Amino acid sequence: MASPQNRRSAIKNILAGTAALGASGALSSFAKSPQQSLMADKLKGNINHSVCRWCYADIPLDQLCASAKEIGLTAIDLVGPSDWPTLQKYGLYSAMCNGAEINLTDGFGDKIYHEQLIKNYSAMIPLVARAGYKNLICFSGSRRGKSDEEGWANCTEGLKQLMAVAEKHNVVLVMELLNSKINHKDYQCDRTAWGVELVKRVGSENFKLLYDIYHMQIDEGDVIRTITQNHQHIAHYHTGGVPGRNEIDETQELYYPAIMQAILATGYKGYVAQEFLPKRADKMASLKQGVLICDV
């Protein structure tokens, strides 16, 4: 095993070589302050950037929309019909709509919730389409002792009842992958393989997955390989720093420029939404920094 000194030297050499191969712009986004980076750099246009509303719940939506536009974002995630007019006022898209779900624990994995969920989604899907949007979030809910097979069967039964209306209106129901280790104990759709199997069973282009990078790093890791092998089943991506779901900079364990490059390599044309909780006082500076880190 290499000595600590040799290991440090090797890491320095690797970083130097990476910079020489063209990653210097990504690495420098860590070194510069968010304000300096924003003034010096324009967004490249390869990634469609969004941000999750709930992470800035203490900021009025009008203010968040204005700041998002200034940064160069083109969308806001996780807003429902009552907030769509505000987004439209600022020329922003609703990249991941919500409002039809019951909550994160009572989902399609339990038949007792199917009647309510089918009613909610049958009403919401036409609204999403009428507003010109595409994606509507949904959840498996908690496992509650169910086997994988029982969860797949229940979700498939419920979701298939909505596919005709989703296909008619060209709306995609998108089930989010959430970690069950830290944040959402007992959530059933907590592994990419579980979600992919459900997508195959539902058998419609109008049902796919929301790959949350933060959540899947916690429960399974191997982020780039997983995205590369399963991208055809993924409709949307969320970010977040691990551990803690804070800023996605050098304070956490994931290297987002490489992850974004891997997403682009799949031919993905959808949105990537920042979903971290800023620790710093200047939340908009943190958001700017996150966007710049992901702007490969």
Residues 129-172 have pLDDT tens digits of 999 999 999 999 999 999 999 999 999 999 999 999 999 999 99
Structural domain spans, the chain: 49-294
Q: Which residue has the higher pLDDT, 9 or 123?
A: 123
Report the pLDDT value the prediction gives residue 84, as an integer from 0 to 100.
98
Helix, strand and coil percent figures for the chain, each rounded to 5: 50, 15, 35
Q: Which two tokens stand for residue 196?
A: 């992919």
Relative orientation angle of helices 148-169 and 192-202, to the nearest 10 degrees: 50
What is the rounded distance in angstroms from the CA atom of residue 61 to the CA atom of residue 90? 11
pTM for the complete prediction?
Answer: 0.87
What is the rounded distance in angstroms from the CA atom of residue 39 to the CA atom of residue 152? 48
- The label of the residue with tokens 């971290």 reads 276
pLDDT above 70 (res 35) = no
Q: Which residue has the higher pLDDT, 31 or 63?
A: 63
What is the rounded distance in angstroms from the CA atom of residue 114 to the CA atom of residue 153? 12
CA-to-CA separations, 181 to 151, 189, 216, 220, 246, in angstroms, rounded: 18, 12, 10, 10, 17
pLDDT above 50 (res 250) = yes
Domain 49-294: assigned CATH number? 3.20.20.150
Report the pLDDT value the prediction gives residue 277, as an integer from 0 to 100.
98
Q: Angle at Cα 133 formed by Cα 94 and Cα 278, nearest 5°?
A: 15
Average pLDDT rounded to a whole number, residues 230-248: 98
pLDDT band at 42 (very low <50, low <70, confident <90, very high): confident
CA-to-CA separations, 260 to 62, 142, 223, 227, 247, in angstroms, rounded: 28, 30, 11, 10, 16
- Per-residue model confidence as pLDDT tens digits over 183-198: 999 999 999 999 999 9
Residues in the chain: 296
Average pLDDT rounded to a whole number, residues 93-118: 98
Check if the beta carbon of residue 29 is closer than 8 Å to that of residue 293: yes
Mean pLDDT of the chain: 90
* Amino acid code (one letter) for 210: L
The full DSSP string for 236-292 is EEE---TTTS--SSTTSS--HHHHHHHHHHTT--SEEEE-----SS-HHHHHHHHHH
Q: Which two tokens stand for residue 158?
A: 């419920």
- Per-residue model confidence as pLDDT tens digits over 194-228: 999 999 999 999 999 999 999 999 999 999 999 99
Which residues are CB-contacts of 137 (< 8 A; sequence separation ≥ 6)? 78, 96, 97, 98, 101, 173, 174, 175, 176, 210
Alpha helices (H) in 173-212, listed in sequence order: 192-202
Q: Which residue has the higher pLDDT, 107 or 19?
A: 107
Q: Name the strand (E) or helix (H) holding 169.
A: helix 148-169
Report the pLDDT value the prediction gives residue 6, as an integer from 0 to 100.
40
Report the pLDDT value the prediction gives residue 41, as an integer from 0 to 100.
55
